[in-house]
Amino acid sequence: MTKQEVIISHDLNGDVERAIRRCPHDRLFVLTDTTTLRLCWPLVGGLPSLREAHMITIGDTDENKTLASLTHVWTALQQGGATRHSLLLNLGGGMVTDLGGFAASTFKRGMAYINVPTTLLSQVDASVGGKTGINFGGLKNEIGVFNCAATVILSTDFLRSLDMKNLLSGYAEMLKHGLISDEESWMQLLRFDIEAPDFGRLGSLVAKSVAIKEGIVEQDPTEQGLRKALNLGHTAGHALESLALEGGHPVLHGYAVAWGLICELYLSTVKCGFPTERLRQAVGFIRQHYGEFDFNCKQYEHLYEFMRHDKKNEADIINFTLLGGIGDIRINQQASKDDIFEMLDFLREGL
């Protein structure tokens, strides 16, 4: 998998123009969702290189990260005369960059694409690292491929229109990056006032967060070993997210990851000696900013089944990424059913 170019943008229009020029193409397509078409397209839509682009729009929110939406994009590409020499620009959050990247990677066996992520979550997570895909059969990101964008352009210009819940959703992935990195990165994130953000400072934290992820992905692009560090909080988090979606009360991905971090830091304390004071620190921050996930012990079995279907597993063994301390990564850590139920007790009842 080739290394992608990630641009921390201070000139959004110029960087988009340059990225498009660097990808020779016969036709240009732009994928948005209904929200980014309204709020984000006006920031770039007047650029000369985009004036004759073919627009494709899908519904917003993760509920539309489906085979039906993917088929809609493929059909629009086909009807618009796309070839393997065409270019797709994905303008949106993680749902758009994941689905658009998968559409581009599979249409005509692969065409180039550019990601312009518009949410904090997509800037620090979904748009970087080459993972693409859709949800399927009630499971998160069940179908997809590894294939990097030609360019990823990160601009805080888009973040000013985000509501607080979506800012916090992205910040959860940044917390994860801090936990798997070092004490200084972790403490910087805890001290930053995400609820009254200085966007200049936030841009610097985003750049650092992306650099942490890029460093890991470069060493292990297809998740054979070290890249599994990026799954911290996600085995439990994806199960909570799937349960909420199935129940008709979807939660933002980052909120599920934040609650998943509580679960997996608890397992880290029990199994790997993660310091109790760091656990308390993380739990306090997450409860203060993300609240609590509403579930009961009757749903433990169902959550366990969701975890069994996680892509990181081998046969019936549920694997977790855990920590021995900040930056002390322990991949492929197994937990029994009793361990997992205790973890869920901890999420419900706390310290």
Domains and CATH numbers, the chain: 5-161 (3.40.50.1970), 164-349 (1.20.1090.10)
Question: What does the alpha-carbon distance between residue 347 and residue 259 come to, in Å, rounded to a whole number?
Answer: 7
Query: Average pLDDT per run of 10 along the chain, which is 351 residues long?
Result: 81 97 97 96 96 96 94 98 98 96 98 96 86 90 93 94 94 98 97 94 94 90 89 96 92 96 98 97 97 96 92 76 98 95 94 64
pLDDT of residue 1: 55
CA angle 243, 249, 255 (to 5 degrees): 70
- Amino acid identity, residue 193? D
- DSSP result, 198-237: -HHHHHHHHHHHHHHHHHHHHH-TT-SSGGGGGGTTHHHH
Question: Which residues touch 240 (CB under 8 Å, ≥6 apart)?
Answer: 251, 256, 259, 260, 293, 295, 303
Q: How many Å apart are CA 221 and CA 336, to the nearest integer?
A: 29
Distances (CA, A) of 24 to 17, 20, 46, 113, 149: 12, 8, 20, 11, 14
The b-or-e profile of 226-241 (16+ CB within 10 A means b, else e) is: bbbbbbbbbbbbbbbb
